[in-house]
Amino acid sequence: MKKLVLFAALAALSACSKPEPAPEPAASEAAEASDAAAVNIAADGKSSVGKFKITSHDGKVYIEEDKADGTYVTTQDGKVVETGKWEQKSPGTFCFIKDGKDAKQVCNQEKVENGVWTTTNAKGEVSKVERVEG
């Protein structure tokens, strides 16, 4: 009789316990959004979206505005000299495609060393990058 009561109690207890719920899809969507946001982090650890002063390897100065929609505009002395699309593949890899016929994606390697942010193209030419705040 004691075994029967014990068995009945265990059966009742197990019937009351709930199975562990399956993970919610929102959690995986949040992780994907986090991964996407991490990709848009520039070499300085901030957003890739913004304005940047670029001093090229030959001393020319440009202002580049990388927009949230994935496009960019580069100006020199207030005049538009280039437009296109950009993609931050990682904090150390910035890619762009100039607008125009037969344009191909070009990727530069970026890093910050001793407080100086540089970008290096496939030819090995190094330019200095400075974020323009405000």
What's phi and psi for 57, nearest 5 deg? -60, -25
Cα distance between residue 59 and residue 109, in whole Å: 19
How confident is the model over 96-113, as pLDDT tens digits?
Answer: 999 999 999 999 999 999
The predicted structure's pLDDT at residue 34: 43
> Residue 115: which region, alpha, beta or left (left: phi > 0; alpha: psi -120 to 50)?
left
82, burial (CB in 10 Å: exposed 0-12, middle 13-18, buried 19+) = middle
| Domains defined for the chain, CATH in brackets | 40-132 (2.40.128.540)
Cβ proximity of 129 and 113 under 8 Å: no
Output the pTM of the full model: 0.71
- Predicted confidence (pLDDT) at residue 7 exceeds the cutoff of 60: no
Query: Do 14 and 33 form a contact (C-beta atoms < 8 A)?
Result: no
